[in-house]
Amino acid sequence: MDIFRKTDDPRAVAFEAAGLRWLAEAEAGAAVAEIVDESPGVLQTRRVRETAATAAAAEDFGRALARTHAAGAPHHGCPPPGFAGEGFMGRAPLPLRAEPPGSWGEFYATDRVLPYLTAARQNGSIDDDGARTVERCAGRIDDGEFDAPQPGLVTGVAARLHGDLWSGNVLWSPETGGTLIDPAAQGGHAESDLAQLSVFGAPHRERIVAAYHEVSPLAAGWADRVGLHQLHMLIVHAALFGGGYGAQTVSVAAQYA
């Protein structure tokens, strides 16, 4: 068996492993990297044999991702079962909630946008004017101006998210198709996962979304909310890496401020 071995902070490993198991429980959902062994600070998974993505594989992945989301979560910001405390998105801390927020907007503004603004200001990637733009945007989000229904298959308040679904966290395999790795799994809005796929350009993204929409119709106006749902990933990158990510964060926030 070809094994991929990853070492990290023990809490980060525990969070990732819990997320992989939770995502894998979704009936007929997207393929997930198989855990072979887990110990404090060490995670071993079966290595995914990679190939180029095809349009057909992208469509299959879109439909499977819809079913993963439809498996649901107790509330926005909830952790995977068996994990408690703060999670991680890459090297960034990820607030998780034991109790449900009042709304998606409250959760997204309070837990997914504003916690990273201080670090982005400290590294100089977001200046005072930019910070005010982000804060105005967060205020409108918190007020519920962008709250929208989940896609059709999601029957509860929250979808079961991968949570860090940039293109590098989907490996394409001839055996399993689009396969999820490195999750920051949580409850949230399904549109967030779909929006993250385009931050760095997933192959055949249009096919993924079209196939998703075919089996789990997206709410009206979803295309206008793509940037909004990318804002979390962008501001995390601004906080961690600075540089142009700050300007990109402010530019997107300005569209909703």
What is the full DSSP assignment across 84-117? -S-EEETTEEE---SS--S-HHHHIIIIIIGGGH
Structural domain of 93? 58-168+186-256
Is residue 7 domain-resident? Answer: no
Number of domains in the chain: 1
Is residue 204 domain-resident? Answer: yes
Is residue 52 domain-resident? Answer: no
pTM across the whole model: 0.96
Rounded Cα distance between 177 and 229, Å, is: 25
Rounded Cα distance between 49 and 172, Å, is: 8
Is residue 119 domain-resident? Answer: yes
Reported as a single tens digit per residue, the pLDDT across 183-200 is 999 999 999 999 999 999
Reported as a single tens digit per residue, the pLDDT across 73-102 is 999 999 999 999 999 999 999 999 999 999
**Residue 91: its pLDDT value, please?**
92
Is residue 208 domain-resident? Answer: yes
Give yes or no for a contact between 177 and 29, defined as CB atoms under 8 angstroms apart: no
CATH of the domain at 117: 3.90.1200.10
Residues of the chain whose pLDDT is less than 70? Answer: none
